[in-house]
Homo-oligomer: A and B are copies of this chain.
Amino acid sequence: MKDFETSLRSILRADQIKTDPKERDYYGRDWTTYFEIKASAIVFPESTEEIQKLVLWARHNKIPLVPSGGRTGLSGGACATQNELVVSLERMNQILNFNKLDQTLLCQAGTITEQLQKKAHAEGLYFPIDFAARGSSHIGGNVATNAGGIKVVKYGMTRNWIVGLTVVTGRGDIIKINQGLIKNATGPNLLHHFIGSEGIYGFITEVEVKLTQIPPRTQTLLLSVSKLSNIMQCYQAFKENTELHAFEFFSDIALKKVLEHKKKSAPFDPPQPFYIVLEVESPHELAETKIMEVFELCLEQGWIQDGFLAQSSEQTKLFWSYREDISESLAPFSPYKNDISVRISKVPDFLNSVNEVLSRHYPQWTIVWFGHIGDGNLHINILRPDGVTKEDFFKQCQNVDRLLFEVVAKFEGAISAEHGVGLTKKPFLQHSKSVAEIEALKALKTWYDPDYILNPGKVFDL
């Protein structure tokens, strides 16, 4: 260890290196809880050039590196489990430039997502990538996982908002990619080699995002639904006739857990099997009238049973809390969780198939569904039944993974919708990508990281 530190000190100051066991455990993990963390040390580079030095040093000494951002991931992509050196970007958190005419922000990759949102707002503009982890996730991590979130229906994924990246590849090359251009037809654009690459090809060190206008006033609706297929009809009606910003659903079981946990009363009497919370643009009276027309249509057609339009910001918060408090309310049941997606039109059949398979194998289990249904992105939670130990439940859930991903493959869906592959989904990658695709990604890995030092063992094994 002493030799290792001495060697590191040739490129970094003492205060840029941490080896304390507590720190190694803290910086060596993400939001997953079931991996044994073994990080050799943590380093805190302060510039792209320092990261380049680190990569060249690591190549020379054959030291595996884990690029580390806000560590809010849920697939183990930022976990150090094999004595890797964790390279934290948290000191590279400066916003470097705002360009009013281009409507772009350039920042270091360790900038916290919410900082970027706030800076955009202060300049009279808007950065639309948004999710619960906004207060701790880094923009570099958002790029490395092509993060989604709650506004994808309107604004798309992180990919759509990236106009420039600076990366340090596993070869040690610094590459400045695309540099803020809107149109660039000079061969394939390398931005997309790195977006969604989970740190296996290079370190993302600087990110330039484009911004957009601050959205007009929106309105929030809470709806109750008696049948799964009706959710999709309701989605279609709003999608075709209004400017939809978000369209989330959750089951009555999910709502009941939230109401119990938060000691709130039920919004609907009688309850229904499913609920929708949706947000829609409403800049003027005309739009408001249209929203009410679509609402009435959904009622008349029987696609929804009942519904409310939020009348205040408090009520908006309340409606969203039914959806956003689900994870916290389920936590005491130490649930099995998964994040998957299918084409929007396949959602009802897919949900029915999964329910059918799981109820056949596990008739006593409680399955809780919720998610970003407007993107085909579903979160499945299964509550640990009374009398089953955590260990037994965990073992059985590995079987659930297999059953679930077989249905995902049958429906040509994604075994990870927005959480990435990391360690947790690596064994199942072939359920969503063909051998030919995986081999092409491996060929690029061999090119960008010839010494196999960048996040080795993540996404796929070589």
Binding site for B on A (CB under 8 A): 99-103, 124, 145-146, 148, 152, 156-157, 160, 169, 171, 173-177, 179-190, 192-198, 201, 213, 232, 235-236, 239-240, 284, 286, 341-345, 372, 375-377, 412-421, 425, 429, 432-434, 436-441, 443-444, 447-448, 459-460
Cα separation A345 to B419 with both chains bound (whole Å)? 36
Taking a contact as CB atoms closer than 8 A, the residue among B146, B187, B417 that contacts A198 in the complex is B187
A-B contact pairs, 11 of them (CB 8 A): A175-B434, A179-B343, A181-B376, A183-B372, A185-B416, A187-B459, A188-B193, A188-B201, A192-B195, A440-B444, A443-B443
Q: A284-B284, A286-B284, A434-B175 are in contact. Are A101 and B184 (CB under 8 A)?
A: no
Q: What is the minimal beta-carbon distance from A2 to any residue of chain B, in angstroms?
A: 35
CB neighbours of A236 from chain B (8 A): 100-101
Cα separation A198 to B419 with both chains bound (whole Å)? 32
Cα separation A345 to B173 with both chains bound (whole Å)? 28
Question: Which residue of B is nearest A163, CB measured?
Answer: B343
Report whether A182 and B436 are in contact in the complex, using a CB–CB cutoff of 8 Å.
no
Taking a contact as CB atoms closer than 8 A, the residue among B99, B156, B419 that contacts A185 in the complex is B419
Report whether A448 and B440 are in contact in the complex, using a CB–CB cutoff of 8 Å.
yes
CB neighbours of A343 from chain B (8 A): 99, 102, 179-181
Report whether A413 and B181 are in contact in the complex, using a CB–CB cutoff of 8 Å.
yes
Q: A284-B284, A443-B443 are in contact. Are A185 and B420 (CB under 8 A)?
A: yes
Cα separation A124 to B377 with both chains bound (whole Å)? 26
Tell me how many chains of this kind the complex includes: 2
Taking a contact as CB atoms closer than 8 A, the residue among B183, B432, B447 that contacts A186 in the complex is B432
User: Which 4 pairs of residues, A with B, have the shortest CB-CB distance?
Assistant: A192-B192, A443-B447, A173-B436, A183-B417
Tell me what chain A mostly uses at the interface: helix, strand, loop, or mixed: loop
Q: A181-B342, A443-B447 are in contact. Are A186 and B433 (CB under 8 A)?
A: yes
CB neighbours of A103 from chain B (8 A): 239
CB neighbours of A160 from chain B (8 A): 156, 160
Q: Give me 16 other A-B pairs in contact (C-beta within 8 A), A188-B192, A443-B447 excluded.
A: A101-B232, A101-B344, A146-B185, A169-B440, A171-B436, A175-B436, A176-B434, A181-B376, A186-B421, A187-B196, A187-B421, A187-B459, A188-B193, A190-B437, A192-B192, A440-B448
Cα separation A156 to B419 with both chains bound (whole Å)? 26
Taking a contact as CB atoms closer than 8 A, the residue among B102, B433, B448 that contacts A187 in the complex is B433
CB neighbours of A438 from chain B (8 A): 187
Q: A188-B195, A440-B193 are in contact. Are A148 and B183 (CB under 8 A)?
A: yes
Taking a contact as CB atoms closer than 8 A, the residue among B179, B344, B443 that contacts A444 in the complex is B443
Report whether B187 and A376 are in contact in the complex, using a CB–CB cutoff of 8 Å.
no
Taking a contact as CB atoms closer than 8 A, the residue among B152, B345, B372 that contacts A101 in the complex is B345
Cα separation A425 to B184 with both chains bound (whole Å)? 13
Cα separation A386 to B26 with both chains bound (whole Å)? 74
CB neighbours of A439 from chain B (8 A): 447
Q: What is the minimal beta-carbon distance from A198 to any residue of chain B, in angstroms?
A: 7
CB neighbours of A376 from chain B (8 A): 181-183
Taking a contact as CB atoms closer than 8 A, the residue among B184, B341, B433 that contacts A182 in the complex is B341
Report whether A447 and B437 are in contact in the complex, using a CB–CB cutoff of 8 Å.
no
Report whether A182 and B415 are in contact in the complex, using a CB–CB cutoff of 8 Å.
no
Cα separation A459 to B420 with both chains bound (whole Å)? 32
Cα separation A180 to B441 with both chains bound (whole Å)? 20
Q: A187-B198, A196-B188, A437-B190 are in contact. Are A377 and B182 (CB under 8 A)?
A: yes
CB neighbours of A171 from chain B (8 A): 436
Taking a contact as CB atoms closer than 8 A, the residue among B175, B181, B240, B440 that contacts A190 in the complex is B440
Cα separation A196 to B184 with both chains bound (whole Å)? 9
Report whether A186 and B344 are in contact in the complex, using a CB–CB cutoff of 8 Å.
no
Cα separation A198 to B152 with both chains bound (whole Å)? 30
CB neighbours of A176 from chain B (8 A): 434
Report whether B429 and A186 are in contact in the complex, using a CB–CB cutoff of 8 Å.
yes
Report whether A185 and B196 are in contact in the complex, using a CB–CB cutoff of 8 Å.
yes
Cα separation A460 to B436 with both chains bound (whole Å)? 24
